């Protein structure tokens, strides 16, 4: 079972969640930043994609620029080096080749409040994956204490658990299908 976990991260919180999902998934999981991810090859049984929630949804070039400028001005949070010139998850998903019958999952990081209040990048990721033909079976949000983080207590353990759950479910579907 092979999984490709693609992420976009501004402060490192989403990267940490992606890495924890891979740990939970176990052997066969590869984690890549959106800038270096490329298209999934034919060996990928499960595509997992996620990013931070900005302005109620997925990041945009404007929201990334605002985040970087804000971090520079107020000194809050350390911006990930790849965040500065990355094309972003939105563009990667737009350029993703169509694939049928490939399982997928979407995740995001966001403040721990109702998604009706904060929005959810995972919804946009899932919608775009479905538009490209992927069979999105799972979405999940992982919580940060503040816009810059850190991750809320227990979120990395929860991400590892979700990774293990994804593997088990993907194996079940592969056997049944």
For the chain, the structural domain boundaries read 3-176
pLDDT tens per residue across span 13-40: 999 999 999 999 999 999 999 999 999 9
Superfamily grouping for domain 3-176: Flavodoxin domain (3.40.50.360)
pLDDT at 177 over 70: no
- Identify whether the C-beta of residue 128 lies closer than 8 Å to the C-beta of residue 59: no
pLDDT tens per residue across span 85-136: 667 899 999 999 999 889 999 999 999 888 888 889 999 999 999 999 999 9
pLDDT at 71 over 70: no
Give the Cα separation of 50 and 124 in Å (integer).
10
What is the per-residue pLDDT for 133? 96
Q: Which two tokens stand for residue 60?
A: 């945009």
Give the Cα separation of 155 and 142 in Å (integer).
6
pLDDT at 6 over 80: yes
pLDDT (mean) for 141-167: 95
Dihedral sign for Cα atoms in the order 48, 91, 34, 20: negative
In what side-by-side order are the strands of the sheet with 103-111? 29-33, 3-7, 46-52, 103-111, 135-144
Rg (CA), the chain: 15
Whether the pTM exceeds 0.75: the reply is: yes
Give the Cα separation of 14 and 106 in Å (integer).
12
Across the chain, what does the average pLDDT equal? Answer: 89
Q: By percentage, how much of the chain surpasses pLDDT 90?
A: 67
């Amino acid at each position: 079972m092979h999984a490709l976990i693609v992420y976009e991260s501004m402060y490192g919180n989403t990267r940490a969640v992606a890495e924890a999902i891979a740990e939970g998934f176990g052997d066969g999981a590869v984690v890549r930043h959106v800038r270096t991810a490329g298209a999934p090859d034919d060996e990928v049984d499960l595509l997992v994609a996620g990013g931070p929630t900005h302005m109620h949804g997925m990041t945009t070039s404007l929201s990334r620029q605002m985040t970087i400028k804000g971090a520079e001005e107020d000194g809050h949070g350390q911006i990930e080096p790849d965040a500065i010139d990355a094309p972003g998850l939105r563009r990667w998903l737009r350029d993703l080749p169509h694939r049928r019958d490939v399982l997928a999952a979407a995740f995001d990081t966001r403040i721990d409040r109702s998604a009706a209040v904060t929005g959810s990048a995972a919804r946009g990721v899932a919608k775009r994956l479905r538009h490209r033909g992927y069979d999105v079976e799972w979405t999940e949000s992982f919580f940060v204490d503040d816009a810059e983080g850190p991750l809320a207590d227990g979120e990395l353990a929860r991400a590892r658990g979700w990774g293990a759950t994804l593997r088990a479910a993907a194996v079940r579907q592969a056997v049944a299908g």
